[in-house]
Amino acid sequence: MINGRCRVDVRQGARLIDKRGGIPSLHALRYCGVIHVLRYDIPYAASGQVIGLLGGSFDPAHAGHAHITREALKRFGLDQVWWLVSPGNPLKERGPAPMEARIAQAKAVMDHPRVTVTGIEARLGTRYTAQTLRALQQLYPQQRFVWLMGADNLAQFHLWQDWKSIAETVPMGILARPGQRISARMSRAASFYAPYRIAGRYSHLLGRADPPAWCFVNVPMMDVSSSEIRALGEWSA
């Protein structure tokens, strides 16, 4: 506890939580004098850059993740993409492999100068996407973010914590996956935000659009999944 305002759990690598249990703010971090701890271990982004965020457990990361990341860089006018390797998915009962192993695998799969693999969510102490986005916007006030996800995630997006807040905080880039296009387009979230959809032919404008804004693009997909890799026994950590 520092001045009764926040605590630092060094075992988690500077996990900062204010006394009300909310997300860390820059004001709170500066007040505690530990903002440098976070800055040491978070990605760099120049002012004005547009950064795509691809979140998930990456258990394990595979060629399909790399493929949609390269497509997102081309389609959505992004300067960078960050893979946010999460401590765990709140919608999944089974816990993932150790985070260090998942990050190492992700870096081996995605070797690209404009892609960064990061475990920043564990550093920030955020559990849900909406919390992570708010924290990132506080840490990077001069940058713009785009949330990236597959069409299968859009189909269940309305089940996410504070899903409307996510859609109204950053633009969203949706990449079609095999067998999920129809269910995604008919999803509750797609219907609710239909007036704010950007046509695929204008996908390059998404990164500079004001939220709510989303774009659905069809891309050649690789039919591979983390669950299939685990089922085949090809991933153990």
Reported pTM: 0.80
How high does pLDDT run on average in the chain? Answer: 81
Domain ranges of the chain: 6-39, 50-231
Q: With bands split at pLDDT 50, 70 and 90, how would you rate the model's confidence at 30? A: very low
The full length of the chain comes to 237
Pairing label, strands 144-150, 80-85: unpaired
What pairs with residue 56 in β-bridges?
85
Confidence (pLDDT) at 184? 84
Sequence letter at residue 105:
Q
Residue-wise pLDDT tens digits, 163-207: 999 999 999 999 986 566 778 888 999 999 999 999 999 999 999
CATH of 50-231, one of 3.40.50.620, 3.40.50.720, 3.90.470.20, 3.30.710.10: 3.40.50.620
Q: With bands split at pLDDT 50, 70 and 90, how would you rate the model's confidence at 6? A: very low
> What span, in angstroms and rounded, lies between the C-alpha atoms of 93 and 143?
34
Q: Which stretch of DSSP H or E encloses residue 182?
A: helix 181-185
> What span, in angstroms and rounded, lies between the C-alpha atoms of 72 and 148?
8
Residue-wise pLDDT tens digits, 67-111: 999 999 999 999 999 999 988 766 666 678 888 999 999 999 999
Residue 200 tokens read as 């695929």
The C-alpha R_g of the chain, in whole angstroms, comes to 18
Angle between helices 99-109 and 63-75 (to 10 degrees): 60
> What span, in angstroms and rounded, lies between the C-alpha atoms of 74 and 53?
14
Confidence (pLDDT) at 13? 35
- Per-residue pLDDT for 5 more than 50? no
Average pLDDT over residues 207-214: 97
